[in-house]
Amino acid sequence: MLVPTDDELQSYVKQVMKQLHRWVYGGSISRLVVAIVSKETGETLEKWQFNLEIQKPDTEQTEGKTNEQIQREIQAIIRQITASVTFLPELEDECTFNVLVYADPNCRVPEEWGDSRTHEITGATESVKFRSFSTTNHRVDALVEYKYG
């Protein structure tokens, strides 16, 4: 796992995570996308998408699920994401990333957050869906879409 050493980047990631926490626990977010973008061309090379579905408390799928079971599901998806380096094309460009949040239109958005383009990938693409995981309150589906060729 990469850990940023740049203080400004660490501060940015901390701020994003704090806001995401508010939105997730407030039930305001339906999708999180991390777009990997070429600094030179502005072209989107990869899109990591996490779809969040709010679960109803009486859903059978999560009834009786222990924290240990939930942690195992999360660990499994992290292993899949880590293993994705075996099939993802190597990024040769210097890249940056953009965090996109699809939230309830009525939720409060901090001033420093702004609208962004959807970061569609042009040309030939592939996508890989990862395992899902669920808690008592949420279900998360993940996939990566990437440019190849």
Greatest Cα pair distance in the chain: 50
Structural domain tally of the chain?
1
In a domain, 120, yes or no: yes
The per-residue DSSP string of 69-109 comes to HHHHHHHHHHHHHHHGGGTSPP--S-EEEEEEEEE-TTS--
Where is 19: in which H helix or E strand? helix 7-25
Per the document, the length of the chain is: 149
Give residue 137's pLDDT: 84
In a domain, 101, yes or no: yes
| Pairwise pLDDT comparison (51 vs 138), residue with the higher score | 51
In a domain, 93, yes or no: yes
User: Lowest-confidence range among 30-34, 114-118, 123-127?
Assistant: 114-118
- The pair of structure tokens assigned to 12 is 């940015």
| Pairwise pLDDT comparison (59 vs 11), residue with the higher score | 11
Distance CA 100, CA 49 (A): 9
Q: Is 30 helix (H, G, I), strand (E, B) or coil?
A: strand
CATH number for 95:
3.30.900.10
The residue among 78, 50, 55, 60 whose CA lies nearest residue 140 is: 50
In this predicted structure, the answer to whether residue 58 has a pLDDT above a threshold of 70 is no
The residue among 76, 1, 4, 93 whose CA lies nearest residue 41 is: 93
Whether 102 and 29 have beta carbons less than 8 Å apart is answered as yes
In this predicted structure, the answer to whether residue 31 has a pLDDT above a threshold of 60 is yes
In a domain, 25, yes or no: no
Question: Domain residues for 44?
Answer: 32-147
In a domain, 5, yes or no: no
For the chain, what is the mean pLDDT?
88
In a domain, 64, yes or no: yes
